[in-house]
Structure 1
Amino acid sequence: MNSLQNKVALITGSSRGLGKAIAERYAGLGANIVLNYTNNKNAADQVLSNIKAMGVEAIAVQADISKPAEITRLFEEAKTAFQKIDIVVANAGVELVDVPVENFTEEQFDKLFTLNTKGAFFTLQEAAKHVSDGGRIINISSSTTVYPFEGVALYGGSKTAPKYLVEVLAKEIGGRGVTVNSIIPYAVSDAGIFTDPTEPSIKWLIEANPMKRMAHVDDVANVAEFFASDLSSFVSGQHLLVNGGASH
Protein backbone atom coordinates (compact mmCIF):
# COMPACT_ATOMS: atom_id res chain seq x y z
CA MET A 1 0.00 0.00 0.00
CA ASN A 2 1.22 3.48 -0.80
CA SER A 3 1.99 5.75 2.13
CA LEU A 4 1.92 9.54 2.20
CA GLN A 5 2.72 9.69 5.90
CA ASN A 6 4.23 13.04 6.92
CA LYS A 7 3.54 14.53 3.48
CA VAL A 8 1.60 17.77 2.96
CA ALA A 9 -0.75 17.95 -0.02
CA LEU A 10 -2.42 21.08 -1.39
CA ILE A 11 -5.40 20.51 -3.70
CA THR A 12 -7.18 23.41 -5.37
CA GLY A 13 -10.93 23.23 -5.83
CA SER A 14 -11.21 20.51 -3.19
CA SER A 15 -14.55 21.19 -1.50
CA ARG A 16 -16.34 18.89 -3.96
CA GLY A 17 -15.97 16.54 -6.92
CA LEU A 18 -12.57 15.34 -8.06
CA GLY A 19 -10.67 17.64 -5.71
CA LYS A 20 -12.60 16.31 -2.72
CA ALA A 21 -12.01 12.70 -3.76
CA ILE A 22 -8.28 13.29 -4.19
CA ALA A 23 -7.97 15.15 -0.89
CA GLU A 24 -9.76 12.38 0.98
CA ARG A 25 -7.67 9.70 -0.76
CA TYR A 26 -4.43 11.44 0.24
CA ALA A 27 -5.68 11.89 3.81
CA GLY A 28 -6.48 8.18 3.97
CA LEU A 29 -2.85 7.50 3.01
CA GLY A 30 -1.60 9.68 5.87
CA ALA A 31 -1.02 13.07 4.24
CA ASN A 32 -1.85 16.34 5.92
CA ILE A 33 -4.16 18.34 3.67
CA VAL A 34 -4.60 21.92 2.50
CA LEU A 35 -8.11 22.25 1.12
CA ASN A 36 -9.11 25.12 -1.13
CA TYR A 37 -12.53 26.53 -1.94
CA THR A 38 -13.91 29.66 -3.56
CA ASN A 39 -17.34 30.31 -2.04
CA ASN A 40 -18.90 27.23 -0.43
CA LYS A 41 -17.50 27.28 3.10
CA ASN A 42 -20.07 24.78 4.36
CA ALA A 43 -18.96 22.19 1.81
CA ALA A 44 -15.30 22.84 2.62
CA ASP A 45 -15.98 22.50 6.34
CA GLN A 46 -17.66 19.13 5.76
CA VAL A 47 -14.67 17.84 3.80
CA LEU A 48 -12.38 19.25 6.48
CA SER A 49 -14.32 17.32 9.12
CA ASN A 50 -14.15 14.11 7.06
CA ILE A 51 -10.39 14.46 6.68
CA LYS A 52 -9.65 15.27 10.32
CA ALA A 53 -11.64 12.18 11.28
CA MET A 54 -8.96 10.16 9.46
CA GLY A 55 -6.41 11.28 12.04
CA VAL A 56 -4.45 13.77 9.95
CA GLU A 57 -4.13 17.54 10.11
CA ALA A 58 -5.94 19.77 7.66
CA ILE A 59 -6.86 23.36 6.94
CA ALA A 60 -9.31 24.92 4.49
CA VAL A 61 -8.29 28.14 2.74
CA GLN A 62 -10.69 30.33 0.80
CA ALA A 63 -8.96 31.58 -2.36
CA ASP A 64 -10.19 32.39 -5.86
CA ILE A 65 -7.84 30.51 -8.18
CA SER A 66 -8.61 32.87 -11.05
CA LYS A 67 -6.66 35.57 -9.15
CA PRO A 68 -2.87 35.10 -8.90
CA ALA A 69 -2.60 37.15 -5.70
CA GLU A 70 -5.01 34.77 -3.98
CA ILE A 71 -3.07 31.75 -5.25
CA THR A 72 0.05 33.26 -3.70
CA ARG A 73 -1.81 33.75 -0.41
CA LEU A 74 -3.07 30.15 -0.51
CA PHE A 75 0.48 28.83 -0.73
CA GLU A 76 1.68 31.22 1.96
CA GLU A 77 -1.04 30.06 4.35
CA ALA A 78 -0.19 26.44 3.58
CA LYS A 79 3.48 27.01 4.35
CA THR A 80 2.60 28.89 7.54
CA ALA A 81 0.44 26.01 8.73
CA PHE A 82 2.70 23.10 7.76
CA GLN A 83 6.14 24.62 6.97
CA LYS A 84 6.32 22.66 3.71
CA ILE A 85 4.32 21.42 0.70
CA ASP A 86 5.13 18.05 -0.85
CA ILE A 87 2.26 17.54 -3.29
CA VAL A 88 0.25 20.06 -5.31
CA VAL A 89 -2.82 19.18 -7.37
CA ALA A 90 -4.04 21.91 -9.73
CA ASN A 91 -7.66 20.83 -9.94
CA ALA A 92 -9.82 23.98 -9.78
CA GLY A 93 -11.71 24.57 -13.00
CA VAL A 94 -15.02 25.18 -14.71
CA GLU A 95 -16.67 23.18 -17.50
CA LEU A 96 -18.66 24.30 -20.54
CA VAL A 97 -20.01 22.01 -23.27
CA ASP A 98 -22.53 22.12 -26.10
CA VAL A 99 -21.50 25.64 -27.18
CA PRO A 100 -20.52 25.78 -30.86
CA VAL A 101 -17.71 28.04 -31.99
CA GLU A 102 -20.19 30.36 -33.72
CA ASN A 103 -22.06 30.90 -30.45
CA PHE A 104 -19.58 31.33 -27.62
CA THR A 105 -19.29 34.76 -26.03
CA GLU A 106 -16.43 36.89 -24.79
CA GLU A 107 -17.79 36.50 -21.27
CA GLN A 108 -17.65 32.71 -21.56
CA PHE A 109 -14.14 32.89 -23.01
CA ASP A 110 -12.92 35.10 -20.16
CA LYS A 111 -14.52 32.89 -17.51
CA LEU A 112 -12.97 29.65 -18.77
CA PHE A 113 -9.54 30.95 -19.70
CA THR A 114 -9.21 33.02 -16.52
CA LEU A 115 -9.74 29.98 -14.29
CA ASN A 116 -8.77 26.95 -16.36
CA THR A 117 -5.71 28.49 -18.03
CA LYS A 118 -4.52 31.49 -16.04
CA GLY A 119 -5.45 29.87 -12.72
CA ALA A 120 -3.68 26.63 -13.60
CA PHE A 121 -0.57 28.46 -14.87
CA PHE A 122 -0.14 30.47 -11.69
CA THR A 123 -0.97 27.49 -9.47
CA LEU A 124 1.75 25.48 -11.20
CA GLN A 125 4.11 28.45 -10.91
CA GLU A 126 3.56 28.70 -7.14
CA ALA A 127 3.89 24.92 -6.88
CA ALA A 128 7.27 25.11 -8.61
CA LYS A 129 8.40 27.77 -6.14
CA HIS A 130 7.24 26.03 -3.00
CA VAL A 131 7.09 22.26 -3.48
CA SER A 132 9.76 20.31 -1.63
CA ASP A 133 12.59 18.65 -3.49
CA GLY A 134 11.37 15.22 -4.53
CA GLY A 135 7.81 16.54 -4.54
CA ARG A 136 4.89 15.97 -6.87
CA ILE A 137 2.92 18.41 -9.03
CA ILE A 138 -0.25 17.17 -10.73
CA ASN A 139 -2.47 18.99 -13.22
CA ILE A 140 -6.07 17.83 -13.74
CA SER A 141 -6.84 18.15 -17.45
CA SER A 142 -9.65 16.86 -19.69
CA SER A 143 -10.01 14.25 -22.42
CA THR A 144 -11.39 17.03 -24.64
CA THR A 145 -7.77 18.13 -25.06
CA VAL A 146 -6.98 14.81 -26.74
CA TYR A 147 -10.23 14.06 -28.57
CA PRO A 148 -11.90 17.29 -29.72
CA PHE A 149 -15.59 17.19 -30.53
CA GLU A 150 -18.37 19.63 -31.25
CA GLY A 151 -19.28 22.19 -28.62
CA VAL A 152 -16.13 22.05 -26.46
CA ALA A 153 -13.83 24.53 -28.20
CA LEU A 154 -13.61 26.89 -25.23
CA TYR A 155 -13.38 24.21 -22.56
CA GLY A 156 -10.88 22.00 -24.37
CA GLY A 157 -8.89 25.03 -25.50
CA SER A 158 -8.65 26.39 -21.96
CA LYS A 159 -7.41 23.04 -20.65
CA THR A 160 -4.82 22.53 -23.42
CA ALA A 161 -2.29 25.22 -22.53
CA PRO A 162 -1.61 23.90 -18.98
CA LYS A 163 -0.59 20.54 -20.50
CA TYR A 164 2.17 22.33 -22.40
CA LEU A 165 3.27 24.03 -19.19
CA VAL A 166 3.44 20.62 -17.49
CA GLU A 167 5.99 19.43 -20.05
CA VAL A 168 8.09 22.59 -19.77
CA LEU A 169 7.99 22.60 -15.97
CA ALA A 170 8.99 18.93 -15.80
CA LYS A 171 12.19 19.87 -17.62
CA GLU A 172 12.86 23.01 -15.60
CA ILE A 173 12.60 21.48 -12.11
CA GLY A 174 13.30 17.82 -12.76
CA GLY A 175 16.80 18.30 -11.34
CA ARG A 176 15.21 18.71 -7.92
CA GLY A 177 13.58 15.30 -8.20
CA VAL A 178 10.15 16.90 -8.63
CA THR A 179 7.75 15.20 -11.04
CA VAL A 180 5.13 17.13 -12.98
CA ASN A 181 2.29 15.28 -14.71
CA SER A 182 -1.28 15.60 -15.95
CA ILE A 183 -4.27 13.39 -15.34
CA ILE A 184 -6.70 13.44 -18.27
CA PRO A 185 -10.09 12.09 -17.18
CA TYR A 186 -13.01 11.03 -19.31
CA ALA A 187 -16.35 12.59 -18.38
CA VAL A 188 -16.93 11.85 -14.69
CA SER A 189 -20.36 10.64 -13.58
CA ASP A 190 -20.13 11.77 -9.95
CA ALA A 191 -18.45 15.15 -10.44
CA GLY A 192 -18.68 18.15 -12.72
CA ILE A 193 -21.63 18.70 -15.02
CA PHE A 194 -22.36 15.13 -16.16
CA THR A 195 -24.57 14.01 -13.28
CA ASP A 196 -28.00 13.38 -14.82
CA PRO A 197 -28.06 9.82 -16.28
CA THR A 198 -31.18 10.62 -18.35
CA GLU A 199 -29.38 13.27 -20.41
CA PRO A 200 -28.87 12.17 -24.06
CA SER A 201 -25.24 13.33 -23.98
CA ILE A 202 -24.55 11.12 -20.98
CA LYS A 203 -26.17 8.10 -22.65
CA TRP A 204 -23.93 8.75 -25.66
CA LEU A 205 -20.81 8.97 -23.48
CA ILE A 206 -21.65 5.64 -21.86
CA GLU A 207 -22.47 3.83 -25.10
CA ALA A 208 -19.39 5.19 -26.87
CA ASN A 209 -17.02 3.99 -24.16
CA PRO A 210 -15.59 0.45 -24.53
CA MET A 211 -16.29 -0.16 -20.83
CA LYS A 212 -19.86 1.13 -21.18
CA ARG A 213 -19.58 3.61 -18.35
CA MET A 214 -18.26 7.03 -17.48
CA ALA A 215 -15.34 7.64 -15.17
CA HIS A 216 -15.83 7.79 -11.39
CA VAL A 217 -14.01 10.08 -9.00
CA ASP A 218 -12.22 7.05 -7.57
CA ASP A 219 -10.80 6.22 -11.02
CA VAL A 220 -9.14 9.63 -11.04
CA ALA A 221 -8.11 9.41 -7.37
CA ASN A 222 -6.39 6.10 -8.13
CA VAL A 223 -4.13 7.80 -10.66
CA ALA A 224 -3.63 10.80 -8.38
CA GLU A 225 -2.45 8.33 -5.73
CA PHE A 226 0.05 6.82 -8.19
CA PHE A 227 1.43 10.21 -9.23
CA ALA A 228 1.78 11.29 -5.58
CA SER A 229 3.56 8.10 -4.52
CA ASP A 230 7.10 6.79 -4.84
CA LEU A 231 5.88 4.47 -7.62
CA SER A 232 5.93 7.38 -10.08
CA SER A 233 9.33 8.79 -9.10
CA PHE A 234 10.69 8.44 -12.67
CA VAL A 235 7.50 9.44 -14.48
CA SER A 236 7.41 13.13 -15.38
CA GLY A 237 6.14 15.41 -18.13
CA GLN A 238 3.42 12.88 -18.94
CA HIS A 239 -0.34 13.05 -19.53
CA LEU A 240 -2.20 9.93 -18.44
CA LEU A 241 -5.62 9.25 -19.97
CA VAL A 242 -8.19 7.82 -17.57
CA ASN A 243 -10.85 7.03 -20.13
CA GLY A 244 -11.56 3.31 -20.28
CA GLY A 245 -9.97 2.96 -23.71
CA ALA A 246 -12.25 5.49 -25.43
CA SER A 247 -11.00 7.04 -28.67
CA HIS A 248 -13.15 10.15 -28.76
Structure 2
Amino acid sequence: MFPMFQPQHQDCQPGLEYLMVPLPIAENPDYIGSGKLQDKVAVITGGDSGIGRAVTIAFAKEGADVAIVYLCEHEDAAETKRRVEELGRRCLSIAGDLRHPETSRNVISQIIEAFGRVDILVNNCAVQYPQKSILDISDEQLENTFRTNLFSFFYMTKAALPYMQRGSAIINTASVTAYEGQKELIDYSSTKGAIVSFTRSLSLSLASEGIRANAVAPGPIWTPLIPSSFSAEEVMTLGRETPMKRAGQPFELAPTYVYLASDDSSYVSGQVLHVNGGTISST
Protein backbone atom coordinates (compact mmCIF):
# COMPACT_ATOMS: atom_id res chain seq x y z
CA MET A 1 0.00 0.00 0.00
CA PHE A 2 1.42 3.37 -1.03
CA PRO A 3 0.87 6.52 1.06
CA MET A 4 -1.89 8.95 0.16
CA PHE A 5 -0.90 12.38 -1.07
CA GLN A 6 -1.50 15.36 1.19
CA PRO A 7 -2.88 18.57 -0.35
CA GLN A 8 0.18 20.70 -1.13
CA HIS A 9 1.57 23.15 -3.62
CA GLN A 10 4.98 24.62 -4.42
CA ASP A 11 5.27 27.92 -6.27
CA CYS A 12 8.54 27.25 -8.09
CA GLN A 13 9.47 24.65 -10.70
CA PRO A 14 10.89 22.11 -11.09
CA GLY A 15 10.07 21.65 -7.38
CA LEU A 16 11.80 20.40 -4.25
CA GLU A 17 11.52 16.79 -3.16
CA TYR A 18 12.44 17.35 0.48
CA LEU A 19 9.31 19.49 0.95
CA MET A 20 6.89 16.83 -0.32
CA VAL A 21 4.46 14.98 1.98
CA PRO A 22 4.84 12.08 1.80
CA LEU A 23 8.28 11.90 0.27
CA PRO A 24 8.48 10.07 -3.05
CA ILE A 25 9.82 6.53 -2.80
CA ALA A 26 13.07 6.61 -4.75
CA GLU A 27 14.46 3.23 -3.79
CA ASN A 28 13.15 -0.30 -3.54
CA PRO A 29 15.07 -1.80 -0.60
CA ASP A 30 14.56 -5.27 -2.12
CA TYR A 31 16.32 -4.28 -5.34
CA ILE A 32 19.78 -5.82 -5.34
CA GLY A 33 22.05 -5.05 -8.26
CA SER A 34 23.86 -7.75 -10.21
CA GLY A 35 26.60 -5.72 -11.89
CA LYS A 36 24.63 -4.96 -15.06
CA LEU A 37 26.33 -1.55 -15.31
CA GLN A 38 29.60 -2.37 -13.56
CA ASP A 39 32.10 0.51 -13.86
CA LYS A 40 30.01 2.32 -16.47
CA VAL A 41 29.66 6.10 -16.29
CA ALA A 42 26.12 7.45 -16.49
CA VAL A 43 24.94 11.04 -16.87
CA ILE A 44 21.43 11.81 -15.64
CA THR A 45 19.77 15.19 -16.08
CA GLY A 46 17.23 16.02 -13.41
CA GLY A 47 19.07 13.44 -11.33
CA ASP A 48 18.59 15.23 -8.03
CA SER A 49 15.03 14.07 -7.40
CA GLY A 50 11.99 12.21 -8.67
CA ILE A 51 12.54 9.74 -11.48
CA GLY A 52 16.11 10.97 -11.90
CA ARG A 53 16.99 10.16 -8.29
CA ALA A 54 15.46 6.70 -8.52
CA VAL A 55 17.38 5.96 -11.72
CA THR A 56 20.61 7.29 -10.22
CA ILE A 57 20.30 5.02 -7.18
CA ALA A 58 19.43 1.97 -9.29
CA PHE A 59 22.38 2.61 -11.60
CA ALA A 60 24.68 2.88 -8.59
CA LYS A 61 23.35 -0.43 -7.27
CA GLU A 62 24.24 -1.94 -10.65
CA GLY A 63 27.82 -0.72 -10.32
CA ALA A 64 27.82 2.55 -12.25
CA ASP A 65 29.45 5.84 -11.34
CA VAL A 66 27.03 8.68 -11.98
CA ALA A 67 26.94 12.37 -12.74
CA ILE A 68 23.70 14.15 -11.89
CA VAL A 69 22.85 17.48 -13.48
CA TYR A 70 20.21 19.73 -11.94
CA LEU A 71 19.09 23.36 -11.95
CA CYS A 72 19.17 24.71 -8.38
CA GLU A 73 17.80 21.99 -6.06
CA HIS A 74 21.00 21.75 -4.02
CA GLU A 75 19.55 19.99 -0.97
CA ASP A 76 17.88 17.30 -3.06
CA ALA A 77 21.06 16.81 -5.09
CA ALA A 78 23.14 16.46 -1.94
CA GLU A 79 20.85 13.71 -0.66
CA THR A 80 21.08 11.81 -3.95
CA LYS A 81 24.86 12.12 -3.95
CA ARG A 82 25.01 10.94 -0.34
CA ARG A 83 23.05 7.79 -1.16
CA VAL A 84 25.16 6.96 -4.22
CA GLU A 85 28.36 7.27 -2.22
CA GLU A 86 26.84 5.20 0.57
CA LEU A 87 26.39 2.48 -2.06
CA GLY A 88 30.11 2.64 -2.81
CA ARG A 89 29.99 4.46 -6.14
CA ARG A 90 31.21 7.90 -7.20
CA CYS A 91 28.76 10.73 -7.82
CA LEU A 92 29.53 14.05 -9.49
CA SER A 93 26.84 16.66 -8.82
CA ILE A 94 26.64 19.60 -11.26
CA ALA A 95 24.25 22.55 -11.10
CA GLY A 96 23.50 24.29 -14.38
CA ASP A 97 20.80 25.62 -16.68
CA LEU A 98 20.52 23.12 -19.52
CA ARG A 99 18.36 25.45 -21.60
CA HIS A 100 21.62 26.87 -22.91
CA PRO A 101 23.96 24.79 -25.12
CA GLU A 102 27.15 25.99 -23.44
CA THR A 103 25.96 24.43 -20.16
CA SER A 104 25.87 20.97 -21.72
CA ARG A 105 29.36 21.40 -23.13
CA ASN A 106 30.64 22.50 -19.72
CA VAL A 107 28.86 19.63 -17.96
CA ILE A 108 30.34 16.98 -20.25
CA SER A 109 33.78 18.57 -19.95
CA GLN A 110 33.60 18.23 -16.15
CA ILE A 111 32.43 14.62 -16.44
CA ILE A 112 35.24 13.67 -18.80
CA GLU A 113 37.75 15.30 -16.47
CA ALA A 114 36.35 13.40 -13.49
CA PHE A 115 35.56 10.00 -15.05
CA GLY A 116 37.22 9.97 -18.46
CA ARG A 117 34.23 8.53 -20.31
CA VAL A 118 30.47 8.60 -20.88
CA ASP A 119 28.66 5.30 -21.40
CA ILE A 120 25.03 6.18 -20.63
CA LEU A 121 23.12 9.42 -21.09
CA VAL A 122 19.69 9.82 -19.51
CA ASN A 123 17.90 12.97 -20.70
CA ASN A 124 15.27 13.44 -18.04
CA CYS A 125 14.84 17.10 -16.99
CA ALA A 126 11.45 18.75 -17.55
CA VAL A 127 9.01 21.46 -16.56
CA GLN A 128 5.27 21.76 -17.09
CA TYR A 129 2.93 24.72 -16.64
CA PRO A 130 -0.78 23.87 -16.89
CA GLN A 131 -2.96 26.40 -18.69
CA LYS A 132 -6.70 26.29 -19.36
CA SER A 133 -6.26 27.39 -22.97
CA ILE A 134 -3.56 27.69 -25.60
CA LEU A 135 -4.35 31.40 -25.47
CA ASP A 136 -2.91 31.47 -21.95
CA ILE A 137 0.46 30.03 -23.01
CA SER A 138 2.79 32.99 -23.28
CA ASP A 139 5.67 33.16 -25.72
CA GLU A 140 8.00 33.01 -22.72
CA GLN A 141 6.36 29.86 -21.33
CA LEU A 142 6.40 28.16 -24.74
CA GLU A 143 10.10 28.83 -25.23
CA ASN A 144 10.99 27.84 -21.66
CA THR A 145 9.10 24.55 -21.93
CA PHE A 146 10.72 23.62 -25.23
CA ARG A 147 14.20 24.72 -24.16
CA THR A 148 13.99 22.71 -20.94
CA ASN A 149 12.20 19.61 -22.16
CA LEU A 150 13.52 19.24 -25.71
CA PHE A 151 16.40 21.55 -26.55
CA SER A 152 18.36 20.30 -23.53
CA PHE A 153 18.07 16.74 -24.89
CA PHE A 154 19.62 17.87 -28.17
CA TYR A 155 22.34 19.88 -26.41
CA MET A 156 23.30 17.10 -24.00
CA THR A 157 23.31 14.47 -26.72
CA LYS A 158 25.49 16.61 -28.99
CA ALA A 159 27.93 17.28 -26.14
CA ALA A 160 28.14 13.66 -24.94
CA LEU A 161 28.12 11.80 -28.25
CA PRO A 162 31.79 12.40 -29.20
CA TYR A 163 32.80 10.53 -26.02
CA MET A 164 30.39 7.61 -26.38
CA GLN A 165 31.59 4.28 -27.75
CA ARG A 166 29.96 1.29 -29.40
CA GLY A 167 27.66 -0.27 -26.80
CA SER A 168 26.71 3.07 -25.23
CA ALA A 169 23.08 3.95 -24.58
CA ILE A 170 20.92 7.06 -24.64
CA ILE A 171 17.61 7.05 -22.76
CA ASN A 172 15.09 9.88 -23.06
CA THR A 173 12.17 10.47 -20.70
CA ALA A 174 8.98 10.99 -22.71
CA SER A 175 5.45 10.80 -21.25
CA VAL A 176 2.07 9.18 -21.65
CA THR A 177 0.91 12.65 -22.74
CA ALA A 178 2.85 12.19 -26.00
CA TYR A 179 0.27 9.56 -26.94
CA GLU A 180 -2.90 10.66 -25.15
CA GLY A 181 -2.43 14.42 -25.03
CA GLN A 182 -3.44 16.52 -22.03
CA LYS A 183 -5.78 19.46 -22.52
CA GLU A 184 -4.07 21.69 -19.95
CA LEU A 185 -0.50 20.71 -20.90
CA ILE A 186 -0.44 21.50 -24.61
CA ASP A 187 3.16 22.74 -24.76
CA TYR A 188 4.45 20.04 -22.40
CA SER A 189 2.70 17.27 -24.34
CA SER A 190 4.09 18.69 -27.58
CA THR A 191 7.64 18.44 -26.26
CA LYS A 192 7.06 14.87 -25.17
CA GLY A 193 5.76 13.93 -28.60
CA ALA A 194 8.85 15.52 -30.10
CA ILE A 195 11.01 13.44 -27.75
CA VAL A 196 9.47 10.27 -29.14
CA SER A 197 10.33 11.34 -32.69
CA PHE A 198 13.77 12.51 -31.57
CA THR A 199 14.42 9.09 -30.02
CA ARG A 200 13.33 7.16 -33.09
CA SER A 201 15.31 9.33 -35.51
CA LEU A 202 18.38 9.33 -33.27
CA SER A 203 18.32 5.54 -33.04
CA LEU A 204 18.39 5.27 -36.82
CA SER A 205 21.19 7.79 -37.05
CA LEU A 206 23.36 5.99 -34.48
CA ALA A 207 22.67 2.37 -35.37
CA SER A 208 25.79 2.04 -37.52
CA GLU A 209 27.88 3.31 -34.60
CA GLY A 210 26.51 0.69 -32.22
CA ILE A 211 24.90 3.27 -29.93
CA ARG A 212 21.31 2.66 -28.92
CA ALA A 213 18.63 5.30 -28.24
CA ASN A 214 15.37 4.49 -26.48
CA ALA A 215 12.79 6.24 -24.33
CA VAL A 216 10.57 5.67 -21.32
CA ALA A 217 7.05 7.12 -21.24
CA PRO A 218 5.89 7.44 -17.63
CA GLY A 219 2.32 7.94 -16.56
CA PRO A 220 1.46 9.99 -13.44
CA ILE A 221 4.41 9.66 -11.04
CA TRP A 222 4.80 11.22 -7.58
CA THR A 223 7.68 13.63 -8.22
CA PRO A 224 8.37 17.30 -7.35
CA LEU A 225 6.91 18.30 -10.72
CA ILE A 226 3.43 17.40 -9.40
CA PRO A 227 3.04 19.80 -6.43
CA SER A 228 4.92 22.50 -8.32
CA SER A 229 2.53 22.19 -11.30
CA PHE A 230 -0.93 21.54 -9.94
CA SER A 231 -3.22 22.86 -7.23
CA ALA A 232 -3.29 21.29 -3.79
CA GLU A 233 -6.66 19.72 -4.58
CA GLU A 234 -5.47 18.21 -7.88
CA VAL A 235 -2.44 16.70 -6.17
CA MET A 236 -4.68 14.60 -3.94
CA THR A 237 -6.22 12.75 -6.89
CA LEU A 238 -3.03 12.08 -8.86
CA GLY A 239 -3.21 8.81 -10.79
CA ARG A 240 -6.83 7.99 -10.00
CA GLU A 241 -7.65 7.96 -13.73
CA THR A 242 -5.27 5.08 -14.50
CA PRO A 243 -6.49 1.46 -14.65
CA MET A 244 -4.50 0.79 -11.48
CA LYS A 245 -6.24 3.77 -9.80
CA ARG A 246 -3.05 5.17 -8.35
CA ALA A 247 0.05 7.16 -9.20
CA GLY A 248 3.38 5.48 -9.61
CA GLN A 249 6.41 5.94 -7.39
CA PRO A 250 9.81 6.82 -8.91
CA PHE A 251 11.40 3.50 -7.93
CA GLU A 252 8.84 1.68 -10.09
CA LEU A 253 10.43 3.18 -13.22
CA ALA A 254 14.08 2.64 -12.34
CA PRO A 255 14.38 -1.00 -13.52
CA THR A 256 13.14 0.04 -16.97
CA TYR A 257 16.01 2.50 -17.28
CA VAL A 258 18.44 -0.16 -16.04
CA TYR A 259 17.18 -2.53 -18.73
CA LEU A 260 17.60 0.06 -21.50
CA ALA A 261 21.06 1.06 -20.24
CA SER A 262 22.38 -2.50 -19.96
CA ASP A 263 23.31 -5.23 -22.40
CA ASP A 264 20.00 -6.92 -21.58
CA SER A 265 18.53 -4.62 -24.25
CA SER A 266 21.36 -5.00 -26.76
CA TYR A 267 18.87 -5.64 -29.60
CA VAL A 268 16.50 -2.82 -28.61
CA SER A 269 16.72 0.67 -30.12
CA GLY A 270 14.25 3.33 -31.22
CA GLN A 271 11.63 2.01 -28.80
CA VAL A 272 9.47 3.62 -26.12
CA LEU A 273 8.65 1.58 -23.01
CA HIS A 274 5.46 2.57 -21.20
CA VAL A 275 5.35 2.60 -17.39
CA ASN A 276 1.98 4.13 -16.68
CA GLY A 277 -0.27 2.12 -14.40
CA GLY A 278 -1.93 0.10 -17.14
CA THR A 279 -2.91 2.79 -19.64
CA ILE A 280 -2.76 1.30 -23.13
CA SER A 281 -0.92 3.78 -25.33
CA SER A 282 -0.65 3.36 -29.08
CA THR A 283 2.97 3.11 -30.20
TM-score (normalizing by structure 2): 0.81
Which structure 2 residues correspond to residues 61-210 of structure 1 after superposition, within 5 A? 61-193=94-226, 199-200=233-234, 203=237, 205-206=239-240, 208-210=241-243
Corresponding position of 2:265: 232
Corresponding position of 1:52: 85
Corresponding position of 2:4: none
Identity of aligned residues (%): 27
Q: Deviations over 1:7-34 (max 9, x none)?
A: 1101011111111111111011110011
Displacement of 1:204 after TM fit?
Answer: 6.6
Distance 2:125 2:186 in 1: 19
Tell me which stretches of 4 or more aligned residues in structure 1 moved more than 4 Å. Answer: 194-198
The unaligned stretches of length 5 or more in structure 1 are: none
More helix by share: 1
The answer to whether the 8 Å contact 1:2/1:229 transfers is no
Change (3 A) 1:106 1:172: same
Displacement of 1:217 after TM fit?
Answer: 0.5
The unaligned stretches of length 5 or more in structure 2 are: 1-33
Question: Greater RCO between the two (CA within 8 Å, min separation 6)?
Answer: 2
The answer to whether the 8 Å contact 2:238/2:247 transfers is no
More strand by share: 1
Displacement of 1:2 after TM fit?
Answer: 5.3
Corresponding position of 2:73: 40
Distance 2:35 2:243 in 1: 29
Displacement of 1:99 after TM fit?
Answer: 3.4
Displacement of 1:128 after TM fit?
Answer: 2.6
Q: 1:14 aligns with which of 47, 51, 58?
A: 47
TM-score (normalizing by structure 1): 0.92
RMSD between superposed Cα atoms in Å = 2.0
Distance 2:268 2:57 in 1: 23
